[in-house]
Amino acid sequence: MQFRHEVKHEITNHDMLILRQRLRAVMKPDTHAVNGQYEIRSLYFDNLDDKALREKLDGVNIREKYRIRLYNNDPSVIHLERKFKHGGLGYKDSAKLTPEQALAIANGDIGWMASSTDEVVLGFYTRIRNEGMAAKVIVDYTREPFIFGPGNVRVTLDYDIRTGMSCTDFLNPDCVTVPIKDSPCILEVKWDNYLPDVIRDAVQLDGRHSAAFSKYAACRMYD
């Protein structure tokens, strides 16, 4: 299990304009981006006690969460993702899902998962059976991703964060999502063993400190 360093900063629109120019000068755009960006839709899950939400709000140091994610509303590539957080370190693994499987999970149809050979699917199945995990909220946002080879660095600018409120119709492109109140821009920096100085300098903003902002928690405030 390879954990990566992860740092988030809540920034302003003006900050984002400055950072976009800096990052374009020293980093490459992610090859999956279209015109430098893509749309992300995630369906987040939580248990009967909203454990993932409460742990995030309470600042619990070691956490785990599950989500289903697709990009640019393209159902040909859908992933079930399991995310671990341990302080400032993060690790993610995933399993590819068909649209039918993703829809089945969102609707609570999980019997087929018991026969899967994928560790992520089986782990999620166990959590659903033991803890009553269920779909909670859709989170949409726009991402601008940048990559840098040394240090395996990935920098993203996320904005236009929207919530599906009580809607969990994940694969419905017409599902209405609305902007969250005072929707911020989020700068996220991830790297392996070291962060090169050129990237550290590029993302430096006076008076900005790492923040514990959670898109999932922000969007759950509306359900």
Return the CATH number at 185: 3.20.100.30
Most confident of 96-110, 169-183, 199-213: 96-110
Residue percentage of the chain with pLDDT more than 70: 96
Nearest to 126 by CA among 42, 53, 47: 47
- Burial track 20-47 (b if 16+ CB lie within 10 A, e otherwise): eebbeeebebbeebeeebbebbbbbbbb
The two tokens of residue 158 are 């996320």
The SS3 of residue 135 is: strand
What was the pLDDT predicted at 156? 97
Specify the residue for token string 């302003």: 12
What was the pLDDT predicted at 173? 80
Nearest to 33 by CA among 149, 156, 151, 196: 156
Q: What average pLDDT is seen over the chain?
A: 92
- Rounded to whole angstroms, the Cα distance separating 147 from 51 reads 33
The SS3 of residue 102 is: helix
Pure H helices in the chain: 13-26, 51-58, 99-106, 119-131, 197-202, 215-220
Using pLDDT thresholds of 50, 70 and 90, give the confidence band for residue 211: low
Residue percentage of the chain with pLDDT more than 90: 78
What was the pLDDT predicted at 206? 79
Q: Are 139 and 44 in contact (CB under 8 A)?
A: yes
**How many domains does the structure of the chain reveal?**
1
Phi and psi angles of residue 104, each rounded to the nearest 5 degrees, phi first: -60, -45
Q: Tell me the average pLDDT across 184-206.
A: 94
Using pLDDT thresholds of 50, 70 and 90, give the confidence band for residue 208: low
What was the pLDDT predicted at 87? 87
Q: What range does the domain containing 106 cover?
A: 4-220
Q: Among 130-144, 149-163, 169-183, whose mean pLDDT is lowest? A: 169-183
Using pLDDT thresholds of 50, 70 and 90, give the confidence band for residue 31: confident
Nearest to 216 by CA among 49, 19, 41, 78: 41
Q: Are 177 and 163 in contact (CB under 8 A)?
A: yes
Q: Are 155 and 203 in contact (CB under 8 A)?
A: yes
Q: Tell me the average pLDDT across 141-165.
A: 96
Using pLDDT thresholds of 50, 70 and 90, give the confidence band for residue 197: very high
pLDDT tens-digit series, residues 84-120: 999 889 999 999 999 999 999 999 999 999 999 999 9
